[in-house]
């Protein structure tokens, strides 16, 4: 190896290493882009589920209130029936 070929060989190795690192970086950016898209999709799905949960919770609360009201009416009707039955 001559004195002038050593720096050229070293430069060639550095260029090759730089090329590999640039390709790795491009791959990492592509992976990051895919991860960002997946995160956006997951965030959108979470917002949809949150809205659905709020709707379902509100409906469950309304049904619970209806059940409590119906139970009160049922108990009152049973008490009235007992009063009427006891009088005769």
Residues 45-88: tens digit of each pLDDT: 999 999 999 999 999 999 999 999 999 999 999 999 999 988 76
pLDDT score for 3: 60
Please give the torsion angle defined by the CA atoms of residues 47, 48, 51 and 54, in that order, rounded to the nearest 10 degrees.
-100
Cβ pair 29, 21 in contact under 8 A: no
pLDDT score for 35: 98
* Residue 57 dihedral angles phi and psi, to the nearest 5°: -65, -40
Distance of CA 8 to the CA centre of its chain: 54
How far apart are alpha carbons 84 and 75 in whole angstroms? 14
39 token code pair: 């995160």
Which residue bears the tokens 């009201």?
69
Could you tell me the pTM of the whole model? 0.59
């Amino acid at each position: 190896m001559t004195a002038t070929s050593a720096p050229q060989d070293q430069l060639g190795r550095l260029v090759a290493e730089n090329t590999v690192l640039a390709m790795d970086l491009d791959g990492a950016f592509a992976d990051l882009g895919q991860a960002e898209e997946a995160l956006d999709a997951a965030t959108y799905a979470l917002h949809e589920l949150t809205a659905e949960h709020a709707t379902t919770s509100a409906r469950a609360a309304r049904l619970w209130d209806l059940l409590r009201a119906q139970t009160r009416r049922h108990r009152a009707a049973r008490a009235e029936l007992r009063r009427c039955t006891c009088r005769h």
